[in-house]
Each structure stands twice: as C-alpha cells, then as structure tokens.
Amino acid sequence: MNWIQHYQLFLFDFDGLLVNTEILHFQAYQKMCEQRGFKITWSFEQYSGFAHHHANGLRDAIYAQFPALYQQEPEWNILYEEKKKAFMKLLQEGRVQLMPGVSDLLLALKEANINRCVVTHSAFQLIKTIREQNPILNSIPYWITREDYIHPKPDPQCYLTAIERYAEKEDKVIGFEDSPRGLNALLQTQAKAVLVCPPNSPYLNEVLAPELSYYPNFNTITENNHP
C-alpha cells in the first residue's frame, strides 16, 4: 500500500464510509416516527437520497411526508434527540461492522505513521460506542465530531478545522466521503476529494466528474489506480 505515502494527512467521514451504520440511522428514524404514530415506508435508497444531499434533507422530507408530525412537534431538535436515543439502542443491540477494506487501510496508515482524522457530524458519545466495538478505529489519533464545529456539511467548516489543526502548510491532504453533501464540503478545501460508495448508490451519477476519484470500496484502491 505504498500509495498512501503520497499524502501527509488523511481525512475520513465516518458513517457509511468507515462503518456500516447508515442502515441503523435509517431504522432509528423509522423508530422515532413510529413512536409518534407515523410510519416511514421509504426504501433505504430513498432515505439515502434525502439524507445525503442537504444538511436538512431528512428533516424536510419527514415533515413533508407527515404534516401532522410537524403540528405535533415543530422543534426538529426534539425529534432528533429521540432519533439519537433509538440509534444508541440499536448500537447496543448489535455490533457495527467496518466497511470493506477499512481495517487494512487503517493498519497501513498506522504503520506508516501518517496523520489521519475522522470528520463526522455524529456526536462524540455515538462515536465512543462504535469505537469500543471496533478497536481498530482507535488507531485514528484525531477526531472532529459535531461538538467541534457549528455549520454541518456541505459547509466546509469541519474539514477546514481538521486541516488547520493537523496539516502543515505544505502537506498534501486527501479526504474520503460517501455522500454528495460531504463531498461538496471536501471540494471547498485544499484536500484531494475521493468518493467511496457502492456502484448502486442513487446519487452516484449526479456527482461523478472527470476530475473526481471514485471507488466502490477501499479494497478497490490499488497501486495502479490510486488517487
């Protein structure tokens, strides 16, 4: 894995990129709505389309689907706290798996002593629980969670914060995302932006461009095709 030596700082999104938690987030939103008497019937692909384009995409989609829910509780922060509790319960019920190729890449970065940082909108407590289930994640020395910045992706504040803290002036930086929202945040920084997501992702054709590096998963990055 010599290609990693081309960069001095690796930036990673978390959910859906390093760990397979997106389905749990979807289930948590379903449970939150069910507890209030509403049933989400979207497919996972539809959920992904709402979640991965805009910071408020899910809020707007859920309120549009259930106007009565908005009348019942117009404060989204309250609903989001209920979703977080449902997500934590799901985490505690079963092990969260790493995405393909993540373990090998993290081990290689650790052995090469290359700086790496997770940049996520997930809260620290959620991250802590997942790291306990997957110890290899503890090899990542730096973590930017939602407590560390104000404006969520696609605003670049979170990535700019990581670069300011952990990159030297001349460092080459590379960042990995699995969603359009995160990708747009990365593209507003000096980092080389890389998209890693399944080839059947509903938004893939919307974001692919000639200058963008894309891989179905980390196992498909090789010495011959690396970014």
**Bridge partners, residue 195, by sequence:** 177, 214
Which pTM does this prediction carry?
Answer: 0.82
46 within 8 A of 65, measured Cβ to Cβ: no
- Show the DSSP H helices in the chain as ranges: 22-35, 44-51, 57-65, 67-72, 76-93, 102-112, 124-133, 157-166, 180-186, 204-207
Q: Is the pLDDT of residue 208 over 70?
A: no
Of residues 21 and 9, the one with the higher pLDDT is: 9
The pLDDT value recorded for residue 125 is 86
Rg from Cα positions in the chain: 18
* CA 103 to centroid of chain Cα atoms: 17
Query: Sorting pLDDT into bands at 50, 70 and 90, what band is 93?
Result: confident
Q: Is the pLDDT of residue 207 over 90?
A: no
| pLDDT tens-digit map of 48-88 | 878 876 778 899 999 999 999 999 999 999 999 999 899 88
The DSSP result for 64-76, as a single string, is HH-HHHHHH---H
| pLDDT tens-digit map of 168-191 | 999 999 999 998 889 999 999 999
Number of neighbours of residue 26 by Cβ within 10 angstroms = 20
Q: Is the pLDDT of residue 211 over 70?
A: no
Number of neighbours of residue 209 by Cβ within 10 angstroms = 8
| pLDDT tens-digit map of 123-172 | 898 899 899 999 999 999 999 999 999 999 999 999 999 999 999 999 99
Q: Is the pLDDT of residue 18 over 90?
A: yes
CA angle at residue 66 from 64 to 68, to 5 degrees? Answer: 120
Give the strand pairing for 213-215 and 192-196: parallel
The pLDDT value recorded for residue 200 is 80
CA atoms within 13 A on the CB side of 13: 29
Q: Is the pLDDT of residue 19 over 90?
A: yes
d(CA 131, CA 24): 16
Taking each helix axis from N to C end, the angle separating 22-35 and 57-65, rounded to the nearest 10 degrees, works out to 40
